[in-house]
Structure 1
Amino acid sequence: MSEVIDLAELAASAGLEQELERLARSHGIIRTRQLNQQETWTVLGAALTRELLSDPRLSNDVHTHAPHGALVPGLQVMLLEQDDPGHARYRRLVTAAFASKAVRELEPRIEEITRQLLDKLGDSGTADFIDAFTYPMPLEVICDLLGVPGEDRDPFRKWAMDISAAPSLEAMQASAGELFAYCIGLIGAKRERPTEDLLSELIAARFEDGSALTDEELSSFAAVLLIAGHDTVTNLLANALHDLLTHPEQLAALRRDPSLVGSAVEEALRFRGSAMTTVNRVALADIEAGGVTIRKGELVRFLLNAANRDAAVREDGHAFDIGRATAQHVAFGMGPHFCLGQRLARQEATIALTEILARFPSLELAVPEGEVRWLASDAIRGLEELPLRYARESA
């Protein structure tokens, strides 16, 4: 395929998924242009995605092999941008921390945050649910998890948005620098006075040889958790609400049987997952795949939303159906870099949807479906806003 597609430009329309389905029928891999105008191979097909996500010839260590493809140039300690054995060593330590008391006992706090935000909406009205709920809810959860003081949380919203859906490369890099600098200071404070949070757990954690994570490694982990654990959940929740409201028969089925909420979350992840693409990989050798030759040194990424709708996997992948079995989706990736926070994301989405639908028997889009605006992002699939009309009484 000779055409180079600007994925961010395409994502600004509601028709992104239909266009990807059209492309995937004839192309397993396409060429796309990223925010910094770099071109990369982008994998669409489900089988090819599963094959190449575990292919050792594709390296996540772009800093070493293709510095121009790094998420944040100059920062070489991102868990997302490491290969084994260093990645596996780091990941084991972080995985253990995710099993800590701070994470295990988070559910009551998620419920509390959810109810507080819904209380602020009142009994009825019209509001942008992204601004009023789906943005602040996961932000509060992640900041609680990291032990960020309440008075320091305001800048996190801008940092997260600029890094995941930046208007420019310069804005992304500037916000990343500010976020990492803040995290270094937070880590210093927690070294002196630990609290019951994930960051304090990681500061105290030790590798098998007795060594510990550096401030740079801790800072990069905190930053990734903010971006991956906050922005993706924000857009997962908004997308799920949008897709339920634009498929009224599915919403009615969920209201009749609230036990389907877990299945509804999985279908939302499959149908329009918020983590649209992976970070870049770099080819360590020439690779023949999908009818093209990926040359050594070229960048490769995976368009997870396209893989999840692949007609070779499910003929009706374009249909939103909360009753289907969707365990085989790749919304959280797969292989060595499978998302560490997937359990927390599912937990937040399940609690949020349960509480919203129980609170508001009357819930609908406050604008015509065609007027809903989508983010122009080549990494995150999400809405600019989600205006909803809600009431505690049925309409």
Structure 2
Amino acid sequence: MSEVFDLAELAASADLERELGRLAADHGIIRTRQLNQQETWTVLSAALTRELLSDPRLSNDVHTHAPHGALVPGLQVMLLEQDDPGHARYRRLVSAAFASKAVRQLEPRIVEVTRQLLDKLGDSGTVDFIDAFTYPMPLEVICDLLGVPGEDRDPFRKWAMDISAAPSAEAMQAAAGELFAYCIGLIGAKREQPTEDLLGELIAARFEDGSGLSDEELSSFAAVLLIAGHDTVTNLLANALHELLTHPEQLAALRADRSLVGQAVEEALRFRGSAMTTVNRVALTDIEAGGVTLREGELVRFLLNAANRDAEVREDGHTFDIRRATAQHVAFGMGPHFCLGQRLARQEATIALTEILDRFPTLELGVPAGEVRWLASDAIRGLEALPLRYARETV
């Protein structure tokens, strides 16, 4: 096919997923243009997504095989941009840290942060809920998890905003570079004075040969956790609330039966997941897939939101239904690079939705649904703002 689609332009529409469905009916793979104007093959089909995400002929090590496709050129130690065996070795250490005491005991802090932010809203009003809640909540959790000192959190927030809302690839890379440099200093301080947080756990962790992670590896992990663990949860929460408020029968069902909150989170992930695409991969050899040839050296990524609504998987994929018997999805990817933070993201979303609904019997969009604007992004699916009207009493 010759047409090249600008995914960021398509994403500015609420109809993105339906448009992707129409494209997927004819093409399992399309050509898209990224924010930096690079062209890449983008996989839409659920079957091809499941097949190719585990295909060793597609390498995550773009720094070696296609440096122009790297998330942050020059930063070669990111876990999500490594191949096995190095990736598997690194991931085992990080997986163990995610199962550590620092993460297991995080739930009370998530509840505390959630309630503090909701307290600030008062009993009633209208507010941009992204600015007031869904943005600061996961950021505070990530800062706690990494052990970022309180006095350093303002610049940390600025870097997070600059990275998530960057107008260009250059601006995003500049913010990421500043964040990486800060993390190098933070890790140096923690090496001198050990701390009981996730970074502290990783600094102390050792491979089988007794070696540990380098400062560069630790810093890249911290940077990726901020970018992936904050931005995606921010938009997952906002998207979930948007879908519940624009599907009032679903919201009523959840208010009537709080045991459905876990299913509501899974359906929100499937229906309009915030991590819209994966990072780039590069073809190590020519690959025949979906009726096209992915040439050696070409970039390939996966449009997870398209795969999650694929008509070949479910006929009612464009229906938001929290009672769905199974909400199987690939919102967290699959294969060797399946998202390590998926448990934490689910935990944050479940706690947040429960607390919000318990706090505010009245919750509705503050503007007509048609006035809500979607981000023009080729990677994150989210809203520019989510104006909500809320009250502690039923109006």
> Normalising by the residue count of structure 2, what TM-score does the alignment of the two structures yield?
0.99
- Assess if the C-alpha contact under 8 Å between 1:363 and 1:390 holds in 2: yes
Closer, same or farther: CA 206–130 of 1 in aligned 2, 3 Å: same
User: Greater CA deviation, 343-352 or 161-170?
Assistant: 161-170
The equivalent residue for 1:363 is 363
After superposition, the C-alpha distances for 1:246-280 in whole angstroms (9 at most, x for unaligned) are 00000000000010000000000000000000000
The equivalent residue for 1:388 is 388
After superposition, the C-alpha distances for 1:220-251 in whole angstroms (9 at most, x for unaligned) are 00001001110000000000000000000000
CA drift at 1:303: 0.2
After superposition, the C-alpha distances for 1:304-362 in whole angstroms (9 at most, x for unaligned) are 00000000000000000000134420000000000000000000000000000010000
CA drift at 1:155: 2.0
Report the secondary structure of 1:311's partner residue: coil
- Assess if the C-alpha contact under 8 Å between 2:138 and 2:229 holds in 1: yes
CA drift at 1:165: 4.0
> Is it true that 1:108 corresponds to 2:114 in the alignment?
no
After superposition, the C-alpha distances for 1:192-227 in whole angstroms (9 at most, x for unaligned) are 111110001000100000001000000000001001
User: How far apart are the structure 1 equivalents of 2:184 and 2:339?
Assistant: 24
User: Greater CA deviation, 41-50 or 153-162?
Assistant: 153-162
- Assess if the C-alpha contact under 8 Å between 2:54 and 2:336 holds in 1: yes
User: How far apart are the structure 1 equivalents of 2:17 and 2:161?
Assistant: 22
The equivalent residue for 2:89 is 89
CA drift at 1:162: 3.0
User: Greater CA deviation, 8-17 or 213-222?
Assistant: 8-17
CA drift at 1:159: 1.8
The equivalent residue for 2:162 is 162
- Assess if the C-alpha contact under 8 Å between 2:270 and 2:327 holds in 1: no
After superposition, the C-alpha distances for 1:347-388 in whole angstroms (9 at most, x for unaligned) are 000000000001000000000111101111100000011000
User: How far apart are the structure 2 equivalents of 1:326 and 1:188?
Assistant: 46
User: How far apart are the structure 1 equivalents of 2:179 and 2:289?
Assistant: 38
- Assess if the C-alpha contact under 8 Å between 1:270 and 1:326 holds in 2: no
CA drift at 1:9: 1.1
User: How far apart are the structure 1 equivalents of 2:12 and 2:162?
Assistant: 17
CA drift at 1:392: 0.5
Report the secondary structure of 2:238's partner residue: helix
- Assess if the C-alpha contact under 8 Å between 1:243 and 1:320 holds in 2: yes
User: How far apart are the structure 1 equivalents of 2:384 and 2:194?
Assistant: 38
Aligned residue-pair number = 395
User: How far apart are the structure 1 equivalents of 2:178 and 2:260?
Assistant: 41
- Assess if the C-alpha contact under 8 Å between 1:333 and 1:339 holds in 2: yes
- Assess if the C-alpha contact under 8 Å between 1:365 and 1:387 holds in 2: yes
Report the secondary structure of 2:322's partner residue: coil
User: How far apart are the structure 2 equivalents of 1:23 and 1:289?
Assistant: 16
The equivalent residue for 1:146 is 146
CA drift at 1:172: 0.6
CA drift at 1:161: 3.1
CA drift at 1:160: 2.1
RMSD: 0.8
After superposition, the C-alpha distances for 1:83-102 in whole angstroms (9 at most, x for unaligned) are 00000000000000111110
CA drift at 1:13: 1.4
Where structure 1 has 5 or more consecutive residues not aligned to the other structure, the ranges are none
After superposition, the C-alpha distances for 1:106-162 in whole angstroms (9 at most, x for unaligned) are 000000000000000000000000000000000000000000011111122332233
> Normalising by the residue count of structure 1, what TM-score does the alignment of the two structures yield?
0.99
User: How far apart are the structure 2 equivalents of 1:325 and 1:290?
Assistant: 29
Where structure 2 has 5 or more consecutive residues not aligned to the other structure, the ranges are none
After superposition, the C-alpha distances for 1:63-100 in whole angstroms (9 at most, x for unaligned) are 00000000000011000000000000000000001111
- Assess if the C-alpha contact under 8 Å between 2:245 and 2:364 holds in 1: yes
CA drift at 1:17: 1.1
